[in-house]
Amino acid sequence: MFYHSEKKKIRGWKRHKRKIERWKQDVIDLDSDYFSEYQRTYTKLWIHPFFALIRRNPPQWYNRLLLEAMIDVYLAWHQKMKAENEDFYLKIWLYDPRFIESQIVVAYRDCLGFYEHTFELRPNKKEFPYDKFYSLKNKLEKFEWQLHIDSEYFTDNDLKEYIEEGLMTETESSQIIQKAFKTLRIENEFGGVLQYSLDKGDVWVGTLK
């Protein structure tokens, strides 16, 4: 997903704060019928103008409000899943610095392991960034946080198409290849492609203790 680096002034913060509560009320009740049929679901931070075609990270004070709402949703979903009396996967995926990509995911039954290998573990350990969410530290300490890599993927076919369509220069394509922390060959019906993995930051996967 492309991010726009240009900073544009955002107005109407009282209105944007109200959007957080509306988002929370829209998703806090886990859709039992949908979840029972598909056995997995998720919710993202669908709040405009941040979660849009071009992502924009909100300021940190706004992220704290978003995370507080996410915790409330997580706890409501957790209570509902505990009542099912079955094993389940319920996590907060907290992205840093691409916070607006954060989400809550849940799965059980046949899809119990669906999300288990979404991210690669980060080999270098570090402390959870409580300082960024200082007002929520007591709530965040009730979770176990595991550090993963926020990866962005490009295939050699992707890069070729971006160059042909004028979305990327050859220099930018070469930089992606050089910066990739992993290059993997993926076989397919057409013979296979090379996939380049870029490190875009951290993903903290949180589970209620």
- Residues 55-64 pLDDT 10s: 889 999 999 9
Q: Is residue 106 part of a domain?
A: yes
Q: Please list the alpha-helical segments (H only) found in 93-169.
A: 137-140, 156-164
Asked whether residue 133 is domain-assigned, the answer is yes
Confidence at residue 8, expressed as pLDDT on a 0 to 100 scale: 59
Calculate ∠ Cα 202-206-207, nearest 5°. 160
Q: Nearest CA to 3 among 198, 193, 165, 204?
A: 198
The confidence score (pLDDT) of residue 9 equals: 66
Per the structure, the complete domain to which residue 114 belongs is given by 13-150+201-208
Instruction: Specify if 176 maps to a domain.
Output: no
Reading the block at residue 192, the tokens are 């296979």
C-alpha span between 111 and 47 (Å, rounded): 28
Report pTM. 0.90
Q: For residue 6, is pLDDT > 50?
A: no
- Average pLDDT (136-160) is 97
Residue 46 belongs to a domain: yes
What pLDDT sits at residue 5? 41
User: Residue 3 — pLDDT band, cuts 50, 70, 90?
Assistant: very low
Q: What is the pLDDT of residues 47-56, one digit of tens each?
A: 998 998 888 8
Q: Is pLDDT of 189 > 90? A: no
Asked if residue 25 is part of any domain, the answer here is yes
Neighbouring C-beta atoms of residue 76, cutoff 10 Å: 15
Residue 4 lies in a domain: no
Into how many domains does the chain fold?
1
Residue 92 within any structural domain of the chain: yes
Distance CA 187, CA 155 (A): 12
Q: What is the DSSP letter of 123?
A: S
% of the chain beyond a pLDDT of 70: 95
Instruction: Give residue-wise pLDDT tens across range 78-120.
Output: 999 999 999 999 999 999 999 999 999 999 999 999 999 999 9
